[in-house]
Amino acid sequence: MPEPIRYRLALRTEVVGGWRFDLTAIEDFEAAVSELAEAIGRGADARWFEELCPMFGVIWPSARALAERATTLPLRGRRVLELGCGLALPSLVAARAGARVVATDQHPDTWTFLEQNLQRNRLSLDYRSFDWAGPLPDGVDERGFDLVMASDVLYAATMPELVAASFDRFLAPDGEGLLADPGRPWLQDFAEAARARGLRVELDAEGETWLLSVRR
């Protein structure tokens, strides 16, 4: 495995629902990708680039849209799961609203950033790094979450089925799922995979970001 990348960082301010969040983030995504490619080197196993790609360290438009929607929901005391959280802006919003939040991601640097940002914003939540299809870690129950949310996670052809299966696995019987997406080619594949599992999928908003609502 390549040596850890020392990313160039910046402090970003996001205002969501009138709340301010100060976040440590990667300063320049394209530069970070170039630095990763250089660190891995030519001829290295391509899976390292896929697993270490620093997409986690940027606030993407879909995450902002999902975070904004979260401010409209009654979240106090509810159990919330974010899949592929990255910098976890939607999770931070839910935590500030009083939800009991579990944020998940598999990038090895996610927790380093998230821990700093939780301290900076005086918030707390649980973080778990695990394979959504694998064994469950402590604090994560099947069909145990009132809200399951994800943004910009349909970045490869393999993801629609995995994400649909994860919504099915973790969404409580009377819960709601929200998926925000910039309009990637696999959005329809996700909807079809979710419906094949008996889930109801409805278009909730569109524009620069598509927002889908998922229910049983």
In this structure, the answer to whether residues 70 and 45 fall within a common structural domain is no
Identify the pLDDT of residue 142: 97
Query: Is the residue at 3 inside a domain?
Result: no
In this structure, the answer to whether residues 69 and 50 fall within a common structural domain is no
In this structure, the answer to whether residues 168 and 107 fall within a common structural domain is yes
Query: Is the residue at 4 inside a domain?
Result: no
Confidence grade of residue 46 (pLDDT, cut at 50, 70, 90): low
Quote the domain boundaries for residue 17. Answer: 9-55
In this structure, the answer to whether residues 23 and 100 fall within a common structural domain is no
In this structure, the answer to whether residues 51 and 61 fall within a common structural domain is no
Query: Is the residue at 110 inside a domain?
Result: yes
- Residue of 190, 177, 196, 15 whose CA lies nearest to 96: 15
In this structure, the answer to whether residues 119 and 168 fall within a common structural domain is yes
In this structure, the answer to whether residues 94 and 185 fall within a common structural domain is yes
Phi, psi (degrees; rounded to nearest 5) at 212: -110, 140
- Residue range 58-87, pLDDT digits in tens: 999 999 999 999 999 999 999 999 999 999
In this structure, the answer to whether residues 90 and 183 fall within a common structural domain is yes
Query: Is the residue at 1 inside a domain?
Result: no
| Beta bridge pairs of residue 21 | 14
Please tell me which residue, 106 or 126, carries the higher pLDDT value: 126
In this structure, the answer to whether residues 44 and 74 fall within a common structural domain is no
- Rounded to whole angstroms, the Cα distance separating 110 from 114 reads 6
Identify the pLDDT of residue 160: 98
Strand 9-16 and strand 19-26: the pairing is antiparallel
- Residue of 166, 138, 140, 170 whose CA lies nearest to 153: 166
Tokens at 128, concatenated: 């778990």
Query: Is the residue at 149 inside a domain?
Result: yes
In this structure, the answer to whether residues 168 and 96 fall within a common structural domain is yes
In this structure, the answer to whether residues 140 and 112 fall within a common structural domain is yes
In this structure, the answer to whether residues 51 and 150 fall within a common structural domain is no
Tokens at 159, concatenated: 């993801």
Query: Is the residue at 46 inside a domain?
Result: yes
Amino acid of residue 92: L
136 in Cβ contact with 159 (< 8 Å): no
Q: In terms of C-beta density within 10 A (0-12 exposed, 13-18 middle, 19 or more buried), how is residue 117 classed?
A: buried
The structural domain count of the chain equals 2
pTM of the model: 0.91
Mean per-residue pLDDT over the chain, rounded: 91
Strand 79-83 and strand 100-104: the pairing is parallel
> HSE on the CB side for 27, CA within 13 Å?
7
